[in-house]
Amino acid sequence: MIFSTVEQAPADPLFGLNDAFKADQRPEKVNLGIGVYKADDGTTPILDAVKTAEARLLETEKTKVYLGIEGESQYNLGVQKLLFGENSELLSQQRVETLQAPGGTGALRLGAEFLIRQTKTKTIWVSNPTWANHSNIFSTAGFEIKEYDYYNSDSHGLDFEGMISSLSNAKAGDIVLFHSCCHNPTGIDLNAEQWNAIAIVCVEKQLVPFFDFAYQGFGHGIEEDAQGLRIVAAQVPELLVANSFSKNFGLYNERIGAVTLVAENTSTAQKSYSQIKRIVRAMYSNPPAHGALIVSTILNDAKLTMQWHNELKQMRERIAQMRQLFVNTLNAEGVTQDFSFISDQIGMFSFSGLTKEQVEKLKSEYGVYIVGSGRISVAGMTTTNIPVICKAIAQVL
Ligand code: LMR
């Protein structure tokens, strides 16, 4: 027997928590763990733009024949325009190649496999803290993980000096993973000036940026959230982007994202693209079509695009309102600890500063689920559950 020696794997920090939440029988339980947007009625609805696109696809789709290894070409082009802008020089210079990928995680893994197989680089720098799955993805692909400073736990803000100082220890050819916007888990982003300084460090030290772009439009807007990526891309010769449409199109279970590579010239971009295709072929051959067809249907129709923009804006604004309501309700509950930083942060998440023990107590005694690190999914808050959450937090502090 060969399976008898296999040991039990630990539960995933995010999906494991989700499973525990589902198994919890308490009716008043609240899930602020995994990053899933909730409307104020507590549901995660399908966007109207998506429903319309799907209805159209049902009418017009004539075949289920394979996509190419790289996925749907209209979709890939749409991704490039969202990332770099309609009139991007990078696109006209033909330095960009995009492959549809199974979600943001799939895109990160494809990028990681490409880098480890095709380049001499073996080290990736990730922010401290970062998304729980980053080191898992990159170490599985064979990377050594190093951390750069990012978060100041006293000010609940960015430790930019620490970030620059950590990166000064990076070596030429090292990869640096950046969160393009809505940093997960802290909700703290760089401003344009800071992105510019990062671009200069990357150029001087010959570091290769790898952008994880999972929340475009959840911060300040579609174009605004791409600012950091575009500032850096205008200065460095090469970079990678892994993007996801799980959140901004609400297409979580369609597993729809893309890996995009920018090279210093067309020929290098095309050769690199051919190698990523080879990796895809060996892993899953070619991607599923439905998510990509939804996104490209929306992006190629001005009315549907407008509708998507509006729906995305509603989600973004609702999260910002929940941030403020959360802070106000904590105050009303008599909490004296300052949580006002939560209303300054953006995107789905905030780092609450709650300890492991407090997080555990919130779960076991009050049925409020947040990630062990203290990360809260603000996108899971509603006007109904905020009073429950705040009462519980007031009790565990
Ligand atoms: C999260 O961080 O909760 C999300 O990005 C979901 C995931 O895939 O982990």
Is 184 touching ligand 1 by the criterion CB < 6 Å? yes
Q: How confident is the model at residue 240 (pLDDT cuts 50, 70, 90)?
A: very high
> Residue 209 — φ and ψ, nearest 5°?
-75, 140
Residue 188 CA from chain centroid, whole number:
13
What amino acid positions are annotated as catalytic residues?
131, 212, 247
Looking at residue 169, its pLDDT comes to: 97
Burial 145-165 (b: 16+ CB within 10 A, else e): bbebbbbeeeebebbbeebbe
- Chain-centre distance for alpha carbon 257: 10
- pTM of the entire structure? 0.97
Counting from 1 in the atom list of ligand 1, the atom nearest the Cα of 371 is 3
Q: Among 19, 108, 131, say which to mutate for ligand 1: greatest number of ligand atoms within 8 Å of CB.
A: 131
d(CA 345, CA 326): 13
Contacts of 176 (CB under 8 A, 6+ apart): 124, 125, 148, 167, 170, 202, 207, 208, 209, 210
Q: Tell me, using a 6 A CB cutoff, whether residue 133 lines ligand 1.
A: yes
Q: Say yes or no: CB of residue 111 within 6 Å of ligand 1.
A: no
| The pLDDT value given to residue 219 | 97
Q: Is the CB of residue 137 below 6 angstroms from any atom belonging to ligand 1?
A: no
Query: 217-236 burial string, b = 16+ CB within 10 Å, else e?
Result: bbbbbbeebbbbbbbbbeeb
- What's the angle, vertex CA 73, arms to CA 72 and CA 79, rounded to 5? 95
Which residue from 105, 317, 118 is spatially nearest to 218, judged by alpha carbons? 317
Q: In the prediction, which pLDDT does 234 show?
A: 98
Q: Does the Cβ of 250 fall within 6 Å of ligand 1?
A: no
Q: What is the whole-number distance in angstroms between the Cα of residue 33 and the centre of ligand 1?
A: 9
Cross-strand partners of 366: none
- pLDDT tens figures, 112-134: 999 999 999 999 999 999 999 99
Average pLDDT over the chain reads 97
Phi, psi for 213 (deg, rounded to 5): -125, 80
Could you report the per-residue pLDDT of 188-199, keeping only the tens digit for each?
A: 999 999 999 999
